[in-house]
Chain A
Amino acid sequence: MVTFQFIPFQEIENLGSAKRVNKLLNIVKENKIVLMEGRLKKQEEADLIEITMEEISPKFKGIELSVVYPNKSKQDFGQKVKGTFANLLLGDRQGMTIIGPASVVKRIEQNPNKIELFTKEAKTPPAKRYRKKK
């Protein structure tokens, strides 16, 4: 079973960078996949990788990370103007960030048109055999 946890941007909006990163990482360490509204700042993304590395252990093997953001290079002039206003109003609230534990998420493939999240095959325990009672 894979668990997703949605984090609205307002939940992290007023947190400092370190608290934001730690909040997200703590959820991921509970083996949940974070779907966060918006995106982290560039420096915070680097901090997330840095703190992840500090936390790596035989039990926690790291994260898979992907940020979905409107592709500005493919927008026409009107869309770019709208996008600039949206950016002014919403800031980092635009887009979506996906962070999953490496033990659950094998990889996230991102190309301009789609995002594919590959999970590791769950190791299900072998079915129990029951003996008929005589």
Chain B
Amino acid sequence: MGFFKDLLSKLKFNPFARKSHVKLGLYGPPNGGKSTLANRICQDWLGEEMSTVSHIAHETREIKIKEQVNIKNKKGKELTFSLVDTPGIATRIDYEDFLKRGMKKKQAKERAKEATKGVIDSIKWLDEMECVVVVLDSTQDPYSQVNITIIGNLQARNIPVLIVANKVDLKKSNIDVIKAAFPQYEVVGVSAKYGKNVEDFYEMLFKVAK
């Protein structure tokens, strides 16, 4: 057995080894809470924040990476992640939506332009990911084609997926609808903002990323 392990490791393929370093992407539609979850993870394990958050969509407009995020599970096992916070994927971006949020025309147009580039980058980075957490707002309808396209593309690339049903602290939150929409995936309900149920999220992450 040892001979085969050595041989496989020499061939850089070892099915007996656990992954020790994983590139973990946070994906999803805008305003689902990707950056809030990224901040929660970084606060919990590094003691610092990663991204700025806002109620206005497309706050994250470029890929942000935090290297060497070490996470331990209840059994004391450790995983090291490169955490990648991505801009929200959308099929429409209208600068007038930002005007309605009180921005000036020039600023709104600039934000819309940056947001379109952000979406393109998010899609291009899909191939780089080794594991993806899809962050969905559990108060919203999960049957949107953006969600289906993201998850379908991850499935086509054989990338492990964990679905986070975020914002469970809100009354309108409904995890069951998300579970029904994506029955083949693990779904964990959390409130990234208040840290509710994040322990379960970390346990589930170990299960999916290993």
A: which residues have CB within 8 A of B?
42-43, 45-46, 49-50, 52-54, 56, 58, 61-67, 73, 102, 108-112
Contact = CB atoms under 8 A, between A and B. Distances in A.
A102 B94 CA distance: 9
Contacts, number: 70
Nearest to B97: A61
Nearest to A107: B144
Given A42-B152, A62-B93, A49 B119 contact: yes
Contacts of B119: 49-50, 53
Interface residues of B, number: 28
A contact patch SS: mixed
Interface in B95-124: 95, 109, 112, 116-117, 119-120, 123-124
Contact of B120 (A45, A53, A58): A53
B112 A56 contact: yes
Nearest to A115: B143
Residue from B89, B148, B155 having most chain A Cβ neighbours under 10 A: B148
Contact of A42 (B93, B112, B117, B153): B153
Residue from A43, A49, A63, A73 having most chain B Cβ neighbours under 10 A: A49
B18 interface: no
A46 B109 CA distance: 24
Nearest to A108: B145
A24 B147 CA distance: 21
Contact of B123 (A49, A63, A66): A49
A47 B117 CA distance: 14
Contact of A102 (B91, B95, B143, B144): B91
Nearest to A102: B92
Interface in B122-146: 123-124, 126, 141, 143-146
B43 interface: no
